[in-house]
Amino acid sequence: MGRIPGLHAKADAGQVEPAAQNEAPKAGGTWTALADGPAPLGNPLLLTDGTVMVQQAGTEKWSQLTPDNKGSYINGTWSDLASLPVINGTQYAPLYHSSAVLPDGRVLIMGGEYNGFVPIWTNLGAIYDPLSDAWTPVPHPPGWGTYSDGTGAIGDAQSIVLANGTYLQAACCLLPAADALFDAATLTWTETGAPRFGNFYQDEQGYVLLPSGKVMTLDIWTDVTFSPFGATGDATNSELYEPNSGMWVASGNTPVSMVDPFACGNFEIGPGVMRPDETLVQFGGNSGCVAPKADPTAIYNTATGTWTAGPNLPLACGKFKNRYCDLADAPAAVLPNGNILFAASAGYDGTPTDFFEFDADNTVKKVANTLVHAQHSGAFVYNFLVLPSGEILTTDFSTTAEVYTPTGSPNPAWAPHITAFPAAVTAGASYPISGSQFNGLTQGSGYGDDAQGATNYPLVRITNKSTGHVFYARTANHSTMSIAPHTKGSTTFTVPGSIETGASMLEVVANGIASTAVAIMVN
């Protein structure tokens, strides 16, 4: 369940606060604030032409961030995009919804926990075509009807694009659980298997793509039991979706529950993200309604199919850094150097928000906080997006987006590799390009059920050797969305009409990691 920004929980009654300490960041990068955009800046998505589209959360309005001619998003400019449509007499204006950039370059969003800031768990949806700057309504899957009170089955449910390029949509609030596959050509749905081991639905669960092409979820509701003497829960069960069979199978148990303590009633969980080393890091959720408790992490080894305990999050959040950090509804993103940047706060929406990196040695390190709003915002308002520059864009429902520039560099083995490309290109024309690891080795970022902003698809960046100016060629029709190492793939890129002629260098970029550049001539 997401919260409306601006509403914050009160500090624990009777808490004794020691004197504040100014502790310098131990590791990481730096934050830079962008020029103000429209408000409230919500879920950002990376289009395949290198621009970023951002919803003005809870409204029908969307905006676009375009990098400058040096490829800088920090010095980029904001512009308006088409607004969401009115569907069956209702203005579609969701907050906390499913979203994905499809292999053909279009953007699909479905559902919403709120619509126009009204908590309604809507079933509405729409698909955006960047070429025409237009939205088209998309019906909900058959059988996922809207209830008499206006609520729907999708709400803030999770979604994911499978390795074969098919979009998988979960139902937040159907009993029994339900999932459906989207046909992007016909805008229609086909029922598929849903997680089978929970007693209830999938509310608050998240989906993570694995190198095998399977999808991981942690069941929020598996161990929930109601009785005259109260209710108990705290699930540890995980499941895997197998695209070939369309079924979910058991995949072991986390060492401890990653779910917000059952007594809190929020049923929140933290983000799950794959790392380039083929391990999945799952962050727990602990909204702090019960006795203080460290927020756990768990690590899934995709090679062995086993879970092990990761480190607990530190006692380093809250105004005086003496409370446990929590990732219930909070963002994480894999940096090009392999570390995971994440945001955390004390309790579900306590303030301030602090930022950390989770490194390859499974050590949590404090890094710099955002410059503008961290002191009075809970972690749930933040969204992360991995930019082609290797930086991380964050939004927080304010007018100010910020960019995190990390230290270090990627392992060259993680980069895309180009094997076939055109030696010469012409403005406005389209060309095939092929190679391996075009989608990277991770989805880029994670949040959970309330927001998805995966970037595991290839972008084509062309830099003019004379001027140094950067141009992104729109890609589409990716042959695969797999994040498995060495996966062969191809895509089509269309050279922008504004490109400069002359000798240039071309790179394929995925999740902020670029291939070795190849020389081309722009005619």
* CA dihedral (429, 165, 171, 259) positive or negative: negative
94 touches 124 (CB < 8 A): yes
Tokens of 51: 């621009």
Scanning 162-209, the segments in alpha helix (DSSP H) are none
In this prediction, residue 233 carries a pLDDT of: 55
pLDDT tens per residue across span 46-79: 999 999 999 999 999 999 999 999 999 999 999 9
DSSP string, 246-314: TEEEEEEE-SS--SPPGGGS------EEE-TTSEEEEE----SSSS--PPPEEEEETTTTEEEE-PPPP
In this prediction, residue 27 carries a pLDDT of: 66
Rounded Cα–Cα distance for residues 63 and 66 (Å): 10
In this prediction, residue 231 carries a pLDDT of: 44
128 touches 60 (CB < 8 A): no
The b-or-e profile of 393-403 (16+ CB within 10 A means b, else e) is: bbbbbbbbbbb
Tokens of 428: 């406005």
In this prediction, residue 224 carries a pLDDT of: 54
**Identity of the amino acid at 324:** Y
* CA dihedral (109, 114, 116, 120) positive or negative: positive
pLDDT tens per residue across span 181-238: 999 999 999 999 999 876 568 989 999 999 999 999 999 886 555 444 344 457 899 9
Q: Which residues contact 360 (CB under 8 A, 6 or more apart)?
A: 275, 277, 338, 339
Report the half-sphere exposure of 465 (CA within 13 A, side-chain side): 11
Pick out the chain residues at pLDDT < 50: 7-25, 226-232
Instruction: Say whether the peptide bond before residue 40 is cis (omega within 30 degrees of 0).
Output: yes
Q: CA distances (Å), 168 to each of 110, 111, 178, 246, in order?
A: 11, 13, 11, 11
Q: Which residues contact 148 (CB under 8 A, 6 or more apart)?
A: none
SS3 468: coil
Please give the share of the chain, as a percent, with pLDDT higher than 70.
91
In this prediction, residue 294 carries a pLDDT of: 83
Domains in the chain, please, with CATH?
30-405 (2.120.10.80), 412-522 (2.60.40.10)
